[in-house]
Amino acid sequence: MRWCYILSDRGRCARSAGSTVEERGMRLVVLEKVVPGSILAMDIRLGPTTLLRKGYKLSDWEIRALGERGISALYIEDKLSEDCIPTETISERTRTLAVTTLEDAYRNFNALSKDRVRRVRHIAEVMVDEILERKDITVTIHDLRTYDDYTFRHSVNVTALSLTIGREIGLERSELQMLAMGGLFHDIGKMEISLDILNKKGPLDDEERKEVQNHPLRGFDLLSERTETEPLIWALARQHHESLDGSGYPDRRKAGDIHPWAKLITVADIWDALRSDRPYKKGWPADKVIELLKSLEMKGKLDRKTLRTFLSFVMPYPTGTEVLLSSGEKGLVLEQNREEPERPVVRIIETAT
């Protein structure tokens, strides 16, 4: 097979070489193209429960059942994906434990005991340790989640991304631990919003939109009513939907009135929300989300330094995804090119017709 760099999803092939790779990896395949007999390359989880394990051979009804759960793509292991290994910000073990711990805290927010906060704080410390231990981080893996555990996995993903930004801009360990707590609790206000609204397939009416946009205030109130968490955590929950130009919510704060760490969480929150499948939309491809983030920064809504730091480790064409070349060939992204993110190393998997 050939490897090549691409300029974009319609870019030209610039270099090729032979491949003698023996190790099997994984590739991301949209559910509509997953065929019975395909082998899972990653566990499929619902909170603490493993629905299907890595190495499992899928049947037709299982593929359909996963679609009903809200999963639109799967990581598959096959010959095409040899040596294609996406990287994660945190380990799957830590991610699963974080989701489970956070779900317990969120679902019991009216009884947010010191013990529950202590467990969340422990997860924050574990996430910080993992982020600091990694020598080089690139975000190339697409988190698979169901509609049922979206809020919890979203909060964990936002935290991992925020921590990575924080590490890159030089925050101290103690600061990263506080940032992690803010990230993990940033959406706790959504627990007072009906799932009928959060998972509504059609557009929200004015009352429903107002209800959703109140969740930062609700989160602030829930957290500030208790002594188990610090005021900075309350502030991050309240400010993560503010914009530098004052067009955000709930307080329409401007740049100087927004905590610097809230600006980190904002970027991570937009990224993960748009990349995710929801009942009312399909997740956007990474390059499209990057274009939007750049547009928002140009319009004065996002912090420039934060976004530039974020884009230094988030890749527009994630490892394991398919890309279309200008030649008409289809390629599978194998490796990232940090110096030229829009030109990853790809393997040709389908010739032009």
Q: Is the dihedral of CA 29, 160, 157, 62 positive or negative?
A: positive
Instruction: For residue 47, name the pLDDT band (cuts at 50, 70, 90).
Output: low
| Residue 317 pLDDT exceeds 90 | no
| Residue 73 vs residue 330, higher pLDDT | 330
> Is the separation of the CB atoms in 293 and 152 below 8 Å?
no
pLDDT at 292: 97
| Residue 49 pLDDT exceeds 60 | yes
| Residue 227 vs residue 158, higher pLDDT | 158
| Residue 15 pLDDT exceeds 50 | no
Q: How far apart are alpha carbons 166 and 131 in whole angstroms?
A: 10
pLDDT at 276: 87
Q: 14: which 2 tokens? A: 């610039």
Q: How far apart are alpha carbons 105 and 93 in whole angstroms?
A: 19
Where do the structural domains in the chain lie, given as residue ranges?
A: 3-85+317-350, 92-311
pLDDT at 121: 96
Q: How far apart are alpha carbons 276 and 284 in whole angstroms?
A: 7
Instruction: For residue 328, name the pLDDT band (cuts at 50, 70, 90).
Output: confident
Count the helices and strands in the chain (H runs, E runs): 12, 9
Q: What is the CA radius of gyration of the chain?
A: 20
As a whole number, mean pLDDT of residues 46-52 equals 76
Judge if pTM exceeds 0.75. yes
Q: What angle do CA 237, 239, 244 make, to 5 degrees?
A: 155
Q: Give percent of the chain above pLDDT 90.
A: 48
Q: Give percent of the chain above pLDDT 70.
A: 90
Instruction: For residue 140, name the pLDDT band (cuts at 50, 70, 90).
Output: low
As a whole number, mean pLDDT of residues 97-105 equals 91
- 3-state SS class at 350: strand
pLDDT at 12: 34
pLDDT at 237: 97
Q: DSSP letter for 57, please.
A: B
For domain 92-311, the CATH class is: mainly alpha
Question: What are 107-119's pLDDT values in tens digits?
Answer: 888 777 888 999 9
pLDDT at 143: 59
Q: How far apart are alpha carbons 2 and 128 in whole angstroms?
A: 39
| Residue 159 pLDDT exceeds 90 | yes
pLDDT at 13: 35
Categorise residue 47: left if φ over 0, alpha if ψ from -120 to 50, beta otherwise: left
* Lowest pLDDT segment from 67-71, 135-139, 345-349: 135-139
> Is the separation of the CB atoms in 182 and 237 below 8 Å?
yes
Categorise residue 6: left if φ over 0, alpha if ψ from -120 to 50, beta otherwise: beta
Q: 241: which 2 tokens? A: 């939907």
As a whole number, mean pLDDT of residues 258-262 equals 98
Mean pLDDT of the chain: 85
Q: How far apart are alpha carbons 10 and 24 in whole angstroms?
A: 27
| Residue 16 pLDDT exceeds 50 | no
